[in-house]
Amino acid sequence: MSRKQIYINNAGIVSALGSGCTQTAAALLENRRGLAPLTLFSLLSGKPLPVAQVDSIPLDSRLPRTHQLAMEAALQAVDPAEVSIDAMVIGTTTGGIATTENLLRSGETNPDLYRYHGLGTVAEQLAAHFCCSGPVLTVSTACSSGAVAISIAMELLRSGQATRVLAGGADSLCRLTYFGFNSLQLVDPDGARPMDTGRKGMSVGEGAAMVLLSTQKQNSTMAEVAGYGLSCDAYHPATPHPEGKGARQAMAAAMTDANIHCTQIDYINLHGTGTPDNDRAESKAIKALFSTPPPVSSIKGATGHTLAAAGAIEAVVAGLAVSREILPANQGCSIPDPELIPPQKIPERHPLKVVLSNSFGFGGNNGSLLITTPRDLQQTNTALSRPQLQVLGAACLTGAGDLNTTMAALQLQQPVAGLPENSEFSANLPARKIRRLKRLARMGLALATAARENSGTKETPHDIFMGTGWGALSETHDFLKRLEETDEQFPSPTDFIGSVHNAPAGQIALFSGSTGANITCSGGNYSFEQALLSAELLAGDAPCCVLGADEYHASFTPLFDPSFSPHTPPADGGGALYMEQATAATRQYPCLQTSFYAQAIENSTVTALVEKLGGTAAIHQRFGLVLAGIPAADQPLATAQLRYFSKRVDLNIQVVDYRKYVGQFASASAVAAVLATAILLNRKIPAAFAGENNTQLKRPGILILGLGRTITAMECYLP
């Protein structure tokens, strides 16, 4: 199939090997090792383990280290002469946690000092600096985040929603990951030795890499991203499938996407963490696909495992491999494990045209990228159309309870904000399987299960797309608290595994056996919208689950969430949708789609929204209800935006600030989406939303607006 080609027109990279493509290429050719004992923060006891620390980042700065690393790489990737960046997709797992840890240890209680804690603030900082006007997405799929971010960016370009996208990943060293991986006994005290017979584990690192992707080839073009493949093991929260089934699926999907046969691949950049299980599983997966594997190597013995940055760093290294003819060596391996594929021992200058780069992470999240020299193909300018996704089943959790009790309360004009009871929404889940899970993971499982049951089908969703603004606060809090209480001696491995933002989505996949794409987005108040947009870009023909959920935490929510205040009641919850591509047979089901996603730039963004929705006449004809999301932190701005929108289109339909009813939490828009589908099917607006107006829904659609620093629009309608 002829389609748009995606080019890496420029790239930025920073790691323990150096800063910039030139320094990195030189370090790879010299087979340099970037591991050294930790110096970033002091330990209460014990000898510092080898880590891959970046020395070019100042220790004292207004911004957390992850943000600084991301900015350094982005400044290298974006030419100041570039006119604009249409969109950004950034992967991260740590966000501002390194700064948060220091603040918590000092007993700081000023919420303003925690303003960069959220994962989404990394991308927001970049977007503000580079004046990005379009979608700004944050991906958190553990150690595959950077590769997944590039995959989503590719689909934004292929679909015609952007022509220039900055994509990549960034993560910094912090106590959470340093002690967390050590608690799992996954750290080699002598430094990572991927593929070595005596390997004992990984070495934690930090870094960032960004690629400027475009459909237009330039003189500076480094390489082409020819294809990607995503999968989920659905096997274990922290251990890969022993036969590498998910890894094999991701690699095969990348080759299919690129229309490249395994015999054409010149080099495989391994995920290769140095843990016995990971290296063994990846080697088995490669042997299953390749009768004669090409040269393979892992660079993590040199760069350390940079977590969310790893997939992006290795994508840039793959670009250097094909553009500068560098075949990297497998640093740290002295005696290759005879059970595994023999790795490349020394770096070489070697012509390479096609490189396969693997990135695998917690939750069984797998991502593979195919990086090539720019190919001479018959390219089309036609954008791939986005499928209509229909809602076959829906579920929500609010302070009132499930969807039925929530709708009943709204019909009685009662607010539904509050905290759902753990015992109630966990009642139908197997006690043995959820006994170690805390609030957010249980919410996610309950919502996904209820949405599938509501659809009336037993078919497993193939893909999982989840949005969460703050992730698993309970596990993060409990891990850091125990770390401090035990003088860093006995951190909880269970809490560490559960603390990653994608842990709930991984549990859903494990529970349901979902082996397709498993994506978690964490963009603050717009996390659910990002998950839905990702589903529209990545979901195939099979059913998928799209959900959003956040938990309230008594200690962390007041510090992290600027929309929370002592004057508002604690609230959390979420919503889930069991969806699939619309067909003639499913026309009776509501469709839900993102129609608009842009950064707010005065009234011009609202004007663009009106135009995207078809203008005043179309809005009047299509929508019978507007559900507006007004985050408390952005209330003056969001209220002004809604006022301007209403004046611009002369609205004569009911407009509801749904957060007044469901509560102030990041994933409230997921609840709004579920309520919209229920209202549309019943053709009746609950009395709380109708006010003094008629409760009959007179038009065929409902518009869900997200307002504030970002403006979004989701449409719920019958096809």
Catalogue the E-assigned strands of 323-388.
Answer: 326-327, 348-349, 354-361, 365-372
Question: What is the per-residue pLDDT across 586-597, written as a single tens digit (0 to 9) for each?
Answer: 678 999 999 999
Average pLDDT, the chain: 95
Q: Which of 372, 406, 423 is the last residue of a domain?
A: 372
Residue 580 inside a domain? The answer is: yes
Q: Are residues 257 and 272 in the same domain?
A: yes
Lowest mean pLDDT among 69-78, 385-394, 521-530, 544-553: 385-394
CA distance 149 to 224: 16
Beta bridge partners of 714: 594, 704
Q: Which two tokens stand for residue 679?
A: 């209202």
pLDDT at 621 over 50: yes
Find the catalytic residue in 67, 117, 241, 305. 305
Judge whether 699 and 653 are in contact, CB under 8 Å: yes
227, pLDDT greater than 60: yes
Confidence of residue 175 (pLDDT cuts 50, 70, 90): very high
Backbone angles phi, psi at 595, to 5 degrees: -105, -20
How far apart (Å, rounded) are the C-alpha atoms in residues 671 and 574?
A: 5
The CA distance from 143 to 311, in Å, is 7
What is the domain count for the chain? 3
Q: Is residue 378 part of a domain?
A: no
The pairing of beta strand 326-327 with beta strand 296-297:
unpaired
Q: Are 77 and 166 in contact (CB under 8 A)?
A: yes
Answer whether residue 381 is part of any domain. no
Report d(CA 501, CA 7) in Å as an integer: 30
Q: Which residue has the higher pLDDT, 347 or 719?
A: 347
Give alpha helix (H) positions in 372-425. 403-411, 422-425
Asked if residue 380 is part of any domain, the answer here is no
Mark whether 635 and 551 lie in a shared domain.
no
- Of 329, 255, 317, 315, the residue nearest 290 (C-alpha): 255
The Cα 234–Cα 240 span in angstroms is: 9
**pLDDT of the residue at 602:** 85
Residue 271 designated active-site: yes
Please answer whether residues 170 and 54 qualify as being in contact, where contact means their C-beta atoms are separated by less than 8 angstroms.
no
At which residue do the structure tokens 């996407």 appear? Answer: 257
416 shares a domain with 339: no
Lowest mean pLDDT among 105-114, 194-203, 458-467, 645-654: 645-654
CA–centroid distance for 194 within its chain: 27
In angstroms, rounded to a whole number, what is the distance separating the alpha carbons of residues 662 and 397?
A: 10
Q: Report CA Rg, the chain.
A: 24
Q: Is the pLDDT of residue 381 over 80?
A: no
- pLDDT bin (cut points 50, 70, 90) of residue 52 is very high
CATH number at residue 549: 3.40.47.10
- Given a contact cutoff of 8 angstroms between Cβ atoms, the answer to whether 35 and 50 are in contact is yes
One-letter amino acid of 296: V
Could you give the 3-state DSSP secondary structure of residue 586? Answer: helix
Tokens, residue 678: 């229920």
Cβ partners under 8 Å of residue 331, min gap 6: 31, 32, 33, 298, 299, 301, 302
Q: Is the residue at 377 inside a domain?
A: no
- CA–CA distance, 483 with 480 (Å, rounded to integer): 5
Do both 54 and 153 map to the same domain? yes
Residue 347 shares a structural domain with residue 489: no
79 and 129, same domain (yes or no): yes
Q: Is 640 exposed, middle or buried (0-12, 13-18, 19+ CB in 10 A)?
A: middle
Answer yes or no: is 383 within a domain: no
Q: Indicate the residue type of 673.
A: A
Neighbours of 252 (CB within 10 A): 17
Number of neighbours of residue 382 by Cβ within 10 angstroms? 11
For position 692, what pLDDT does the model report?
A: 73
User: Do 575 and 640 share a domain, yes or no?
Assistant: no
Assign 525 a pLDDT band (cuts: 50, 70, 90). very high
Q: How many CB atoms lie within 10 A of CB 2?
A: 9
Phi then psi dihedrals of residue 608, to 5 deg: -65, -35
Whether the per-residue pLDDT at 345 is higher than 60: the answer is: yes
Instruction: Judge if 332 and 407 occupy the same domain.
Output: no
Instruction: For residue 333, report the phi and psi dihedrals to the nearest 5 degrees.
Output: -95, 115
Nearest one of 274, 461, 463, 504 to 366, comparing CA atoms: 463
pLDDT attached to residue 582: 86
Q: Are 303 and 16 in contact (CB under 8 A)?
A: yes
Domain match, 488 and 361 both: no
Shared domain for 573 and 631, answered yes or no, is: no
User: What is the value of pTM for the model shown?
Assistant: 0.97
143 carries an active-site annotation: yes
Domain-embedded: residue 384: no
**What is the model's pLDDT at position 379?**
65
Percent of the chain with pLDDT over 90: 89
The domain boundary, picked from 345, 372, 399, lies at 372
* Cβ(242)–Cβ(341) below 8 Å: no
| Catalytic residue, candidates 271, 462, 477, 501 | 271
Indicate whether 1 belongs to any domain: no
674-695: pLDDT as tens digits: 999 999 999 999 999 997 777 8
Q: Which of 308, 342, 372 is the last residue of a domain?
A: 372
Token pair 């099979």: residue:
542
Which amino acid, residue 135?
Answer: P
- Enumerate residues 6+ apart whose C-beta is below 8 A from 113: 103
Query: Bridge partners of 87?
Result: 165
> What is the structure's pLDDT at 695?
86
Among candidate residues 143, 333, 545, 591, the one labeled active-site is 143
What is the tens place of the pLDDT at every residue in 259-316?
A: 999 999 999 999 999 999 999 999 999 999 999 999 999 999 999 999 999 999 999 9
| pLDDT exceeds cutoff 50 at 1 | no
Tell me, yes or no, whether 549 and 601 share the same domain: no
Q: Quickly state the pLDDT bin for 383 (edges 50, 70, 90).
A: low
What pLDDT band is residue 463 in, cutting at 50, 70 and 90?
very high
Total residues belonging to the chain:
719
State which residues form the domain around 509: 389-586
Q: Answer yes or no: do 316 and 358 share one domain.
A: yes
Interatomic CA distance for residues 280 and 432, integer angstroms: 30
Q: For the purposes of burial, counting CB atoms within 10 Å of the CB of 660, is it exposed (0-12), middle (13-18) or buried (19 or more)?
A: middle
